[in-house]
Amino acid sequence: MNKKTILSGIQPSGNLCIGNYIGALKHWNKLQNDYESIFLVVDMHAITTNQVPSELRKRCLSFVAQYIACGINPEKNDIIIQSHNSHHAELMWVLSCFTYQGELSRMTQYKSKSKNLKNINTGLFTYPILMAADILLYQADLVPVGSDQKQHLELSRDIAQRFNKHFTHTFKIPEPFIPKNGSRIMSLQNPNNKMSKSDSNSNNIIALLDDPNLIRKKINRAVTDSGNELTFDKKNKPGLSNLITIYKALTSDSIDAIEKRFLGKMYSHFKSELADVIIETLSPIRDEYNMLIKDKDYLMKILAKGSDNGFRKSRNTLSKVYRKVGFLPKLK
């Protein structure tokens, strides 16, 4: 029996953080044994904002090393740099001809990212079509999504259904994969905002590669409240609740158990133990990363394997699409 295909990816901007680990990488690690898994580094998405080319190349390789350090097995799964497979861009163009302007203008991420920009590039507007191409190209059955990506997956499904109806069945209709124990990690200094790896204020995030002393400093500085009772209350204690969420995600303790454990203890005591938990989780990842990033040849071989496997899978999809829309095939 063939395994279902699961696909996910992260844009190589900023620094991978504990929010990415808890919300995505930790789940990828578990899913890779039950699914045929494709993990992307979506560098084409990254250039919707200005990038320093040399830094973008470094981050792409760094993200690959961090994927592996977090437990992704490159022998079992394909790790693919998006720009290494031109089929992403080719399929995007075809799909753009089956996508309506009104659909794109309603995308909430487009609205939020463009509201402070004077000149909005077309790439930012059509970003969701490229995301749809990423998913549909590999005939993904399941796509892990957070609340901020649900709308994009819905658009991918709509485009696929529209294409299938106009021609004949071509694309699988991807389903969202929502982890049972998913957690949305918030900013350490502004707990009403999601923790973002691209945050300009590094005190808002715990990066996967932060050293233990820096982790401890950031947790000690994290916003809580003026009370002294450790209780989970997102409305009235958003900062403290965020820290409890991180503790719960990394230890698998229930919120009730955490509240009982720290009953009558000061916030500083809880923060100290939370820092210990984070350091214990991230130290082996950082150590493994430091070894991997020194071996560029190994990382490039992993990417070559992923690119070759991905190209073979995506070529079948693109050939069907080109035939159905009426493109003249090349002479082999």
CATH of the domain at 85: 3.40.50.620
- Whether residue 203 is contained in a domain is answered as no
Residue 124 in this model has a pLDDT that exceeds 90 = no
pLDDT band at 331 (very low <50, low <70, confident <90, very high): confident
Average pLDDT on 240-257 reads 94
Claim to verify: residue 148 and residue 240 sit in the same structural domain = no
Average pLDDT on 300-304 reads 97
Catalytic residue among 26, 172, 197, 248: 197
In angstroms, rounded to a whole number, what is the distance separating the alpha carbons of residues 16 and 231?
29
Asked about 197 being catalytic, the answer comes back as yes
pLDDT tens figures, 14-50: 999 999 999 999 999 988 989 999 999 999 999 998 8
Asked about 194 being catalytic, the answer comes back as yes
| Contact predicate 9/40, CB 8 Å | yes
Count structural domains, the chain: 2
pLDDT tens figures, 142-187: 998 876 678 889 999 999 999 999 999 999 999 998 776 667 899 9
Catalytic residue among 3, 4, 180, 194: 194
- Whether residue 246 is contained in a domain is answered as yes
Contacts 24+ apart (CB under 8 A), 228-235: 228/266, 228/267, 230/258, 230/259, 230/262, 230/263, 230/265, 230/267, 230/270, 231/259, 232/258, 232/259
What's the gap between Cα 74 and its chain centre?
17
* pTM score, whole prediction: 0.93
- Whether residue 64 is contained in a domain is answered as yes
- Whether residue 214 is contained in a domain is answered as yes
Claim to verify: residue 234 and residue 133 sit in the same structural domain = no
Claim to verify: residue 279 and residue 307 sit in the same structural domain = no
Q: Which residues contact 7 (CB under 8 A, 6 or more apart)?
A: 37, 38, 39, 40, 134, 135, 138, 140, 142, 143, 174
Claim to verify: residue 242 and residue 274 sit in the same structural domain = yes
Domain limits for position 131: 5-183+295-325
- Whether residue 204 is contained in a domain is answered as no
Claim to verify: residue 121 and residue 40 sit in the same structural domain = yes
Taking alpha carbons only, the member of 72, 67, 65 closest to residue 33 is: 72
Instruction: Among 177-191, 223-237, 316-330, name the one with the lowest average pLDDT.
Output: 177-191
CATH code (residue 233): 1.10.240.10
pLDDT tens figures, 74-114: 999 999 999 999 999 999 999 999 999 999 988 877 666 66
Asked about 165 being catalytic, the answer comes back as no
Claim to verify: residue 29 and residue 125 sit in the same structural domain = yes
275's tokens: 């820092």
Catalytic residue among 113, 234, 305, 320: 113
- Whether residue 200 is contained in a domain is answered as no
